[in-house]
Structures are given as structure tokens and as C-alpha cells.
Amino acid sequence: MRIGCVQFAPQVGDVDNNLNRADAVLSRANPEELDLLVLPEMAFSGYNFKSLEHIAPYLEPSGSGITALWARTTALKYNCIVAAGYPEKVDPSPKWPTGPEYYNSAIIVNRDGETVANYRKSFLYYTDETWALEGDTGFFEGYIPGLGHTSMGICMDLNPHKFQAPWHAFEFAFHVLEYSSNFVIVSMAWMTREDSRMFSRMPNEPDMETLTYWVTRLEPLIRAENDEEIIVVFCNRTGTEDEAVYAGTSAVVGIHDGEVKVYGLLGRGEKELLVVDTDNPPYAKLLYRPDADSSEPAQGELQKMSQSPAPGQKPPSNSQETQSSPKGEHSKEPLSSTKPPTSQAAIGNAMNNTTATSSKRTRPSPQIQIPQHPQRREPVSATSATSAKSTVAAIWQLGGSQ
């Protein structure tokens, strides 16, 4: 499957220029034979609105605003499925008689320009809460011709609900397992924890701390014994909006049998179209090695699998190893949904807290397994806390195939 991610830098309220920015990225790449094109969260409105009054001029009617029009036009032009985020306004109707409702949403349009899904973000970040309601139907799941059994989330959906649910609840990841989805789309406006000045100095480098965190939040998928690979598309934006600095690092990964294969990856500041073909060998893989007996974080190694990436795939440009590590005591508080536990002790405490649960939905109980050793696996129930300290670190291993 050929997948494209449009990573660009929209600005708040600058809709016309944001449309032009996305079109420019596509025009430069001139992609051929795409199956799916994904855009970030609130792609054309921008994200960092302060209130309902602030965002009101840019709200779009359900499935029929500027984002839907762009998605349909682009789907027909490139003969592909298009997914894009937008701020949705639902006018009063017999179903909603009390007045308009507002959601942070994403639309999926098929190759014929027909809307096949309209998903409303389930877990709201603080910025969303100033104007939007939580979607009331749960995370999206459904069969989409050309993609298969598909789940979709938006940014904060990866996190524990309101940052209050236990770390090990893994609501979105267990949703993917519950519905046996083989394809996952996550549209994002995810900010970095890095200082903006330091962050902007390495635009071609991926934000490995952020990528590591995304993968960590899909831990149940890594532990599950699935017959098929699960493809996950992380489509993030880049750039800045006031104090918000976005992490970029859009990626397409495949998860199967305890491994995370990386088919393609963009840098934190790149304004480009990431194009990958999941029928081709991956560029690298992240080996997941939790160690219940170690006091150190579990370590994943992102190992290069070929001497040169496939077209459209973006390895980091440095030739040295780069390890993701916890922030020091002077680090800034996160500005977005990147707020994980900041210490190994905090992660352990969260994962062993079995009393609190998310109020959103009942978690399924598939049998999953956690890789403890290349030759040994121990089953873990989805409803019990794992004793493994399973945060993931990431290392770019720039050697030959292994």
C-alpha cells in the first residue's frame, strides 16, 4: 500500500494560505499511485485557538466545509483515499435541538469523493476543551474498502483519558485490538517538549522522544500475538503557533510479533510529503525489549535495515547514535498531549494502579504477550497491570542490516 502524509505548517485562521501550503507540498512531490493521503489534525484552520469565539469564524459544517471540499477534490485528482482533520460545527436539528455543537473532527473520503467516515475526537486536550465537545461514539472503527478494518484517532486519543486514567489502560490501543483493526490512522497536532530554539536548529532530525512516546502508547499492539501486521500512520504537523511548537516527525510503522518496523519518517521541521510503500521492505525497525528485572527503562533499538532509504522515506541525517532520554530537572512542562510520566517510577506507579479506569468505555480482554526474551514470552491479561517497566527508549542504529 502506498501511503502519503502531508506534513506542513498551517497557521491559526489563515485558511487560504494553509490550503496553498498543503497544495504546494503535494505539487512539489507530485505523487503517483497513492492509496491513502493523510493530513494533520485541524489541517486548514490551524490548531492553537484560545476560545470558542476565537475559532468560530473557522468552524465548518459537518462533512461539507472547505476541508471536505479539498479532500474530495484531492481524492479525485490522485485517485486515493483522503483523511483530514477539521473543526466541525453541528447546527441545531431534531437530533441536537438545544443548539450548535462543536467537535475536533476528521473526515475520510474515498477515491470517488464520497465521505465514508466522520470521526469526532474522543479525548480532548486542554486546548480543545476551550471550544469542543468530546465525541460520544468512541474511537472510530469500520471497514474501509482499500484499507481494510480501520481504526482512527486524533492526537490526544493516544493518551490516558484527561491524563487521569491509569497509564496501563491504553484505551486507544485496546480499541484497535478489540476490533481487530489492521490499519490505524492518527491525525495529529502534537507539540514537542523541547525548547523551541534548540528544536528548530535540527529541522531534518526526527523528534525521537515524541516518536518513542507514540510507540509506547501502542504497547498492547506490540505485545499482542497477531497473525497480520498492523500498519499505523502518524500524520503530524510542524511549525509554530504562538508558544506552541509542533513536533513534526510524521511516520508510517508496522507492528507485528513484538517488532515495530519503520517504513518512513520525516524530520521535525520538514514541510514535505512522506510517501512510503508498505509492500517494500521497511527502512528500519524498533526492537522492543522490556525487562521486568531491570531498574532501567526498557530499550528499543531502531536498526537500519538497508544502506539507503526508499524514495520518500526520511532517515535522520546524523551519522551518530541519538538516544531518547528523560528530561532533566529544569525541563519545561509539556505544552500539548505529549505529557507522559516523566520518571520511571511514575510510569511504574501508573501501570500498577488498577483501581482507576477510564470512564469512556469498557476495555476488552484479549490475551496478549509481552516479549521478555527472544526465546521466551509470558502471557499478560489486558485487564491486569504488567510488572514490566515498559517505556521505550529509541536509538538510531546506523549500521548495516542485522
Domains of the chain: 2-304 (3.60.110.10)
Residue 20 neighbours by CB distance under 10 Å: 12
- pLDDT at residue number 401: 32
Given the residues 89, 121, 314, 360, select the one marked as catalytic.
Answer: 121
5 counts as catalytic: no
Q: Residue 201: its pLDDT value, please? A: 87
pLDDT at residue number 312: 52
Q: Mark whether 121 is an active-site residue.
A: yes
Can you give the pLDDT at residue 118? 98
pLDDT at 94: 67
3-state secondary structure of 117: strand
Catalytic residue among 41, 171, 219, 301: 41
What is the residue whose three cell numbers read 520518571? 343
Q: Which of 5, 80, 155, 235 is catalytic?
A: 155
The three-point CA angle 22-206-162 to 5° equals 80
235 is catalytic: no
Q: How much is the pLDDT for 275?
A: 98
* Close Cβ partners of 111 (under 8 Å, ≥ 6 residues apart): 75, 76, 79, 80, 81, 146
Measured CA distances, 136 to 51, 132, 150 (Å): 21, 12, 19
Instruction: Give the chain's residues under pLDDT 70.
Output: 93-97, 287-302, 304-402
**Cα–Cα dist 133/83, whole Å:** 21
Whole-prediction pTM:
0.77
